[in-house]
Amino acid sequence: MRIRLIFPRKSGDPGAMGMTLPYVLPHLAALSQPWHKIELVNLFKQREDYGARLPDLAGISVMTPMAREAYKIADEYRKRGVKVVIGGHHASALPHEAKLHSDAVVIGEAEDTWKVVLDDAEGNALKDFYMSGNLYGSDYFNGHEVYSSPERPSLAGLPLPRRELLRDRYFFDCIVTTRGCPYRCKFCGTSRFYGGLIRHRPVEEVTDEIKRMGRFFLMADDDIFGDIQYRTELYSKMSGLGRFMRWHGAGAVSAVLERGGVEMIRLAAKSGLDTVFTGLESAEGETLDALEINAKLRRRESGGLEKIAAAVREVQSMGIMVFGFFVLGFDTDGEESFEKTLDFCDRLNVPPIPFLLMPLPGTPLWDEMSGRIIPGQGWGKWDGVHALCAHPSLSPRQREELLYKLRISAYTFRRIVRRVKGFSPVAAMNGLLMQAGIRRSFISDWKRINGGI
Q: What is the pLDDT of residues 99-130, one digit of tens each?
A: 999 999 999 999 999 999 999 999 999 999 99
In this prediction, residues 134-152 reach a mean pLDDT of 92
Q: What is the CA radius of gyration of the chain?
A: 22
Residue type, 9: R
Strand partners, 84: 58
DSSP 8-state symbol, 152: P
Residue 145 CA to its chain's centroid (Å): 30
Rounded to the nearest 10°, the torsion over CA 428, 432, 437, 440 is 160
Q: How far is CA 239 from CA 84, 264, 284, in A?
A: 43, 12, 38
At 214, which amino acid appears?
G
> Of 59-68, 192-201, 390-399, which range is least confident?
192-201
Distance CA 274, CA 431 (A): 9
Angle between helices 396-410 and 335-348 (to 10 degrees): 20
pLDDT of residue 293 exceeding 80, the answer is no
Query: CA angle 39-210-319, nearest 5°?
Result: 125
Q: Lowest mean pLDDT: which of 150-154, 159-163, 258-262, 296-300?
A: 296-300
More confident residue, 182 or 247: 247
Domains of the chain: 2-149 (3.40.50), 172-450 (3.80.30.20)
Residue 197 CB coordination number (10 Å): 12
Average of per-residue pLDDT across 357-379: 91
User: What is the reported pTM?
Assistant: 0.92
Taking only the tens place, the pLDDT of each residue in 58-77 is 999 999 999 999 999 999 99
